Structure 1
Amino acid sequence: MFDELEIIPVDLLEAYSLQIDDDLQEKFDQLKDAEISTSEFSFYTSVSSVYSSKIEGENIELDSYIKHKRFGIEFLPDYTKKIDDLYFAYDFAKDNQINVNNIVKAHQLLSEHIVAKNYQGMLRNHNMYVSTPDGRIEYVAVGPIKLAEEMEKLYHDLTLLLAVRLNIKEIFFFASLIHLVFVKIHPFNDGNGRTGRLLEKWFLSQKLGEKAWFVQSEKMYYENHQTYYQNLRVLGLEYEELDYSGALPFLLMLPKAL
Structure 2
Amino acid sequence: MLVIEGLQIIPKDLLEQYKTTVNEEALFTAFNQLEDAPLSTEEFSFYNSVASVYSSKIEGEAIELDSYIKHKRFHIEFQPDYTRKIDDLYIAYQFASENRPDKETFAEMHSLLARHIVSTNWLGKFRNQNMFVTTKDGRIEYVAASPFEVPSEMDKLYTDLEILLNTELTISETFFFASMIHLVFVKIHPWNDGNGRSGRLFEKWFLAQKLGNKAWFIQSEKYYYMQHATYYNNIRALGLEYPDLDYSKALSFLLMLPKSVTEKD
Task: Confirm or deny a common fold (TM above 0.5).
Answer: yes
Give the drift of 1:121.
0.4
State whether structure 2 residue 197 is matched by structure 1 residue 194: yes
Matched residues, percent identical? 64
Q: Over the residues paired in the alignment, what is the CA RMSD in angstroms?
A: 0.6
Whether the 8 Å CA contact 2:56–2:197 is kept in 1: the answer is yes
Whether the 8 Å CA contact 2:56–2:86 is kept in 1: the answer is yes
Q: Which amino acid aligns with 1:236?
A: G
Corresponding residue to 1:136 among 118, 127, 139: 139
Match of 2:22 in 1: 20
* SS of the residue 2:24 aligns to: coil
Match of 2:101 in 1: 98
Between the aligned partners of 2:10 and 2:166, the Cα distance in structure 1 is 15
Unaligned runs of 5+ in 1: none
Whether the 8 Å CA contact 2:150–2:188 is kept in 1: the answer is yes
Match of 1:111 in 2: 114
Once the two structures are superposed, residues 96-146 of structure 1 have per-residue CA deviations (whole angstroms, 9 ceiling, x without a partner) of 001110000000000000000001100000100000000000000010111
Give the TM-score normalised by the residue count of structure 2.
0.97
Equivalent residues in 2 for 1:219-234 (5 A)?
219-234=222-237
* SS of the residue 2:141 aligns to: strand
Match of 2:11 in 1: 9
Match of 2:211 in 1: 208
Give the TM-score normalised by the residue count of structure 1.
0.99
Between the aligned partners of 2:171 and 2:223, the Cα distance in structure 1 is 20
Give the drift of 1:17.
0.4
Give the drift of 1:3.
3.7
Equivalent residues in 2 for 1:156-195 (5 A)?
156-195=159-198
In the alignment of these two chains, the number of paired residues is 258
Give the drift of 1:26.
1.2
Give the drift of 1:222.
0.1
4+ residue runs over 4 A deviation: none
Match of 1:79 in 2: 82
Corresponding residue to 1:88 among 84, 88, 91: 91
Once the two structures are superposed, residues 16-41 of structure 1 have per-residue CA deviations (whole angstroms, 9 ceiling, x without a partner) of 00111132111111000000100010
Between the aligned partners of 1:22 and 1:238, the Cα distance in structure 2 is 34
